[in-house]
Amino acid sequence: MAAAAFSCCHGAGGMVVIVVVVMAMLGGVVAGGEPPRAADLVARLTAAEKVAQLGDQAAGVPRLGVPAYKWWSEALHGLATSGRGLHFDAPGSAARAATSFPQVLLTAAAFDDDLWFRIGQAIGTEARALYNIGQAEGLTMWSPNVNIFRDPRWGRGQETPGEDPTMASKYAVAFVKGMQGNSSAILQTSACCKHVTAYDLEDWNGVQRYNFNAKVTAQDLEDTYNPPFRSCVVDAKATCIMCAYTGINGVPACANADLLTKTVRGDWGLDGYIASDCDAVAIMRDAQRYTQTPEDAVAVALKAGLDMNCGTYMQQHATAAIQQGKLTEEDIDKALKNLFAIRMRLGHFDGDPRSNSVYGGLGAADICTPEHRSLALEAAMDGIVLLKNDAGILPLDRTAVASAAVIGPNANDGLALIGNYFGPPCESTTPLNGILGYIKNVRFLAGCNSAACDVAATDQAAAVASSSDYVFLFMGLSQKQESEGRDRTSLLLPGEQQSLITAVADAAKRPVILVLLTGGPVDVTFAQTNPKIGAILWAGYPGQAGGLAIARVLFGDHNPGGRLPVTWYPEEFTKVPMTDMRMRADPATGYPGRSYRFYQGKTVYKFGYGLSYSSYSRQLVSGGKPAESYTNLLASLRTTTTSEGDESYHIEEIGTDGCEQLKFPAVVEVQNHGPMDGKHSVLMYLRWPNAKGGRPTTQLIGFRSQHLKVGEKANIRFDISPCEHFSRVRKDGKKVIDRGSHYLMVDKDELEIRFEA
């Protein structure tokens, strides 16, 4: 029996073409996105037509009414033009811009998964709206980036939620769910979590991401690098995973069947497609020398579980690979079923997208809405981290500021707000313009020729500072220092910035205020210890509303509550090879380890650090179950003894039902003691009695954000799952729970939980 299904396509000009495709009804299932429907379409394609689908620019099949499709679009912190699938500049375009939210690392500093969900939701809505008006060639967004920010020099760390796997996992779930929508009938967009796995190096000391072989232990893979991707698939139901350029223990990620087929699609259950990073298949042969011929590279990638290559390499060489017997048409069929199934779940074969009952009503009016602009401002304000506030210099009383000097290369540069992977913002408020909204007598001087600060007008800046009532310095980094393809070699501020800041502080009438616009951390020990620098704020790359957000914090219209999502290391950390992937410290060789979980060295600022204009108290008031509630379950389980003499329970033996039985709530009482209302994030950690067996020093297990008025108390509940939160990963990659004491921690307040029969 045959059924008619509509196929729809439209170009950037907005013209909609409707054609009819006849598809067999297999097993009585014809609903969009069901595998039988995709399988039927694939079966109707010729070998040449199949091969033409294997790149990010998939060819159309006119005889079947299948439109061409652009897979590559970007939406990291707003719709971006990087993938060349989204268009804002064509004549007659109804949408000329999209909401530009803060770069991800700053958004992460809010420690608020509801905020992250709403940002994903807004971006997904704008993507679908852009598609409906004919300015998007696809709805597959290659975002988010949930790699672990392992090394502070990494140029793309700014794109990630930070260094902690729990935090990155929660960000992934919230953002992906927001992007993909909540309809069971159709996806709003398809989100793609990248780059699996252990990718966090661009170009360091002659080692490039294209030829880097990351030597990673099973322990680090399981408890650091893989959790965000697992959460993407298992918890958020992401419909795409992108494999990295990285070689992992000698095997390129995109040629790694254990990773792509066994783990991502098998163990985690990916219901979607796997894409390569751009030209990753070509790089297997050309840079990594993993295969001898292009045909070998294409064959090994497809057989490993890759479905589509960003680029044209597989389209160019797959036919020859079949002819040489290295690849079969069935290998390609498997990939194409995954690809077409996603296009069907997006509604691409169900007629005019504007007639879709769920998302068809979205259009130009749903882009750059007042709600989305307000959300961009909220995200920037909530992420800003107050690092120093000597003598309570902030917030400022606008009526008491007679004059001000605004100095710095990032003070009036719109590009300094938006980081990388961006599109045209709805609007842009620089820090200078933000301050001008509060005070009018302002003198501005860039002070440096650029963020690189190769040339500094130090004397002129000092003169301006000495004649002003207050001085604001907007310094930091830019994409010329940290970006895709570019790692840093130093953690210090670039060029003459430090000497300029010091000279200005010396000349100023009162302590100056330093605002850092950076992605990755910088060593500002000189400013931290200088009494003439009264306040320091980290504002990341704060998006289109960044300047207004900073000004509202400076003048007390917003109480800062952001916390650092990464450790800020001193410059001496740059002695550690960036290529050393070990997370855990090795005291015998002087290797200090990485991230707050394992690092054994000095810090400039610690993970989770952040000040407020208010004083808050936090106290664990309840948690845990009576010991007898564990007894029957744990008594039935065997324990194993480690080489250190510790006994542990295997998570696999406890099982899903057992893990559910072990869950319990923990409650933290938090109070705002004033003097301002504010939003406060409570971070809960787990501490083990010791660090034997490679246990982390501490491990973040949850966080909650709560707005509190002055004097208000709130009880914040954390749902504790011992199987998830008390477990640790052994050297062989297996998860166990140690028998004995585990300590829930909020600040210095601890609650002991005994885990034993």
Indicate which residues carry an active-site annotation. 277
d(CA 551, CA 539): 11
Decide: 513 and 394 in contact? Cβ < 8 Å: yes
Could you say which DSSP state residue 265 is in? I
In terms of Cβ atoms closer than 10 Å to its own Cβ (0-12, 13-18, 19+), residue 35 is middle
- Answer yes or no: are the C-beta atoms of 596 and 697 closer than 8 Å: yes
H/E element, 683: strand 678-687
Other Cβ atoms closer than 10 A to 715: 11
Cis link prior to 239 (omega < 30° from 0)? no
User: Closest Cα to residue 516, out of 390, 617, 384?
Assistant: 384
Exposure of 520 in the CB half-sphere (CA atoms within 13 A): 32
How far apart are alpha carbons 472 and 675 in whole angstroms?
A: 24
Residues 6+ apart with CB under 8 A from 536: 386, 387, 388, 513, 514, 515, 516, 524, 527, 528
CB 279 within 8 A of CB 301: no
Closest to 389 (Cα-Cα) out of 562, 537, 502:
537
Angle between helices 329-345 and 35-43 in degrees, nearest 10: 130
Max Cα-Cα span within the chain: 85
- The three-state secondary structure class of 370 is helix
Tokens 């000597």 found at: 390
Show the tokens assigned to 26: 């297999």
Residues 6 or more apart whose Cβ sits within 8 Å of residue 191: 120, 124, 141, 143, 144, 175, 176, 179, 180, 232, 236, 238, 239, 240
Q: How far apart are CA 567 and CA 564, in angstroms?
A: 7
Judged by DSSP in three states, 453 sits in coil
Backbone angles phi, psi at 502, to 5 degrees: -65, -40
Three-class SS state of 42: helix
Tokens of 637: 């389980």
The helix-helix angle for 458-466 and 497-507 (nearest 10°) equals 30
Q: How many helices (H) and strands (E) does the chain have?
A: 22, 30
